[in-house]
Amino acid sequence: MTETGKKPPNNHLKVGVIGGGMAGSTIALQLAEQGFRVTLFEEGRSLVNGPPICHLHAGGNLYREISDHQCLQLLEQSIDTLRVYQHSANIRPTVVAVPKQDPGHPEQLLPRLTLLQSHYRALVQQDASNAVLGHPDNYYRLYNRDDMEHLAKQDFPIHASSADDWMIPVAKHLNLDHFKFPFVLVQEYGVSVFRLAATVSLSLEAMPNSQVLTQACVTDIQQDTESLQWEITYQTLSPECDDLISQTTTVDYLINACGYRTGILDDMAQHKRQRLVEFKAAYVTHWAENQADWPEVIFHGQRGTPEGMAQLTPYPDGYFQLHGMTQDITLFKDGLVSSTEQSAQPVLSSRYKNMLRNGWQPNDIEQRTQRAIAHVAKFIPAYQHAQVGGPPLFGAQQIPGQDPSLRAADVSFAGQRYARTEIVKASSALTAAERILEHLVKEKLITEQQSGLGLNWEARFPVTKQLNLHDIVTKAEALAKERQFPAALARPVGAVPDPAIS
């Protein structure tokens, strides 16, 4: 063992991972933790900086339109994510509310919730370490009108420590006449993109067999037809930051984790693939008058209409992240584009590409954020006093195939020694890493023992599990500041749940 507690490389396989988002960083981390030599290329200044990540979909209850199968996948993947990235979790429940004008009804959610609860119970029976969402008997709870009217008369707790505590601000601030009953409280937690980024960054820095190249733009990939190795050509800034330096390196296996630009590498490698890319944004707001601990609240609505779903995600110090699934807020006109027969890379409009490259104009930030505030204020009238709290969290999300409602996806393979990650949700990243390791075993590039797949999650990530919350939060706050976001977005929400109430 090395001084970092990590075993030295266990074979000579060298892996290149292009793209340092959630998928690429997680895959690089798991491969490095198993002792493989990994080089991670990221064009930006830091890792895990892309589409807004805020919700751990432990059952997919935000999405009425997806299949039960996808919901079960998301539950399993979220549990795995909490076991590996335990310090990234924001421990607060999610409340699902159905407005009266919505064609759906809360009772329609119950069969799925019962299915998810049963599956969660089975997973905990298989392995007690899976009980990261509290006791399975308390996976969800229903609140009828009498319950809500009773809670509306209660004082705000100093800190929320029970299901009822979390529900009090909802009961006090919503006009109950505008909603169908029951309300549903479910143990879907939040996740901090900044603490995720901090975790992978600190872990990869601690391992001598991993190399992280930031501000590194890959310009070409070529595969040798005999050795099957890949030559990667990339550019970095000179130490004086006044010139680009072109370099090459060779790897035995190539992983395309380029997110919404995955098709660019597919085209270089001459691998066709159907996919969609969707430009989306969430908005950072500050509600200074708020003194309560809020759960996340989902107001169901029909996507793409003026009454689209609203999502209120809480952070410390009165900061909230907002989604509004309308084309004036989170969705964008012509923001969903498809690949073609000629190219695996969907082409966004020049406006959106410019925003991804250079950021937003102040007027656009103000206008879109105010629309998000107004959308949420339709359900929480006092929210009209909230203000812009920072720049939007935004990015382009790839979706493999042609189904824009797909949420559970992980990785696909093409040619030889080439994998492409295709996650839609952050919790799918570990599944993608597992499937790549399984593929490496199948191709006899590594052994089953070298893959580590027979180990539990904690044993697969010894370096990551040594990190402490203080160091992760310190790094996360620095990343938030570097990206011009409030430090509050990097800080934990809630606490380890009491099994009696979670």
Residue 410: its pLDDT value, please?
Answer: 80
| Residue 419 pLDDT | 97
Compute CA distances 203 → 39, 74, 148, 218, 221, whole Å: 14, 25, 44, 23, 27
Compute the C-alpha angle 210/214/217, nearest 5°. 115
* pLDDT for position 59: 73
Q: Which two tokens stand for residue 180?
A: 């169908």
Least Cα distance to 26 among 418, 463, 455, 432 occurs for 432
**For residue 60, which amino acid is it?**
G
**Token output for 222:** 């070529």
Q: What is the per-residue pLDDT for 3?
A: 42
Amino acid present at 39:
T
Residue 396: CA atoms inside 13 Å, Cβ hemisphere, count?
30
Identify residue 303 by its one-letter amino acid code.
R
* pLDDT mean values, one per 10 residues, the chain (502 residues): 46 92 97 97 93 80 82 93 96 96 94 95 98 95 98 96 96 97 95 96 97 96 97 85 87 96 96 94 97 96 93 97 95 95 96 93 97 98 97 92 77 96 89 96 96 96 97 98 96 64 34
Residues in the chain: 502
Rounded Cα distance between 221 and 230, Å, is 7
Q: Which of 366, 213, 380 is nearest to 297 (CA)?
A: 380
Selection from 441, 459, 439, 463 nearest residue 450 by Cα? 441
**Structure confidence at residue 240 (pLDDT):** 62
Which of these, 323, 59, 297, 321, lies nearest to 184 by C-alpha position?
297
What end-to-end distance do the CA atoms of the chain give, in Å?
A: 39
Return the H-helix or E-strand segment holding 268: helix 262-269
Contacts for 205 with CB less than 8 Å, ≥ 6 apart: 212
CA distances from 36 to 7, 174, 194, 288 (A): 10, 53, 26, 48
DSSP state of 399: E
Spatial CA neighbour of 30 closest among 450, 419, 469? 450
Residue 1: per-residue pLDDT: 40
DSSP secondary-structure letter at 401? Answer: T
Q: What is the 3-state secondary structure (H, E, C) of 269-327?
A: HCCCCCEEEEEEEEEEEECCCCCCCCCEEEECCCCCCCCCCEEEEECHHHEEEEEECCC
Is the separation of the CB atoms in 34 and 457 below 8 Å? Answer: no
Residues near 38 by Cβ (< 8 Å), separated by ≥ 6?
14, 15, 16, 17, 28, 31, 32, 209, 210, 211
Let me know: does 197 contact 479? Beta carbons within 8 Å. Answer: yes
- Tokens 């997680």, residue? 26
Tokens 């039960």: give the residue. 68
Residues facing 210 on adjacent strands? 38
Residue 273: which of 260, 263, 261, 258 has the closest Cα? 263
Per-residue confidence (pLDDT) for residue 445, from 0 to 100: 96
In the three-class reduction of DSSP (H, G, I as helix; E, B as strand; rest coil), residue 322 is classed as strand
CA dist 459 → 10, 12, 465, 466 (Å): 16, 22, 9, 11
Which strand ranges, in their side-by-side order, compose the sheet holding 244-251?
217-223, 230-237, 244-251
Structure tokens at 5: 């507690």
12-30: b or e for each residue (b if 16 or more CB lie within 10 Å)?
ebbbbbbbbbbbbbbbbbb
Reference 106, options 116, 96, 114, 115; nearest CA is: 96
Q: Angle 421-425-430 (CA atoms, 0-180°, nearest 5)?
A: 60
Coil/strand/helix, residue 143: strand
Burial of 377 (0-12, 13-18, 19+ CB in 10 A): middle
The per-residue pLDDT for 325 is 94
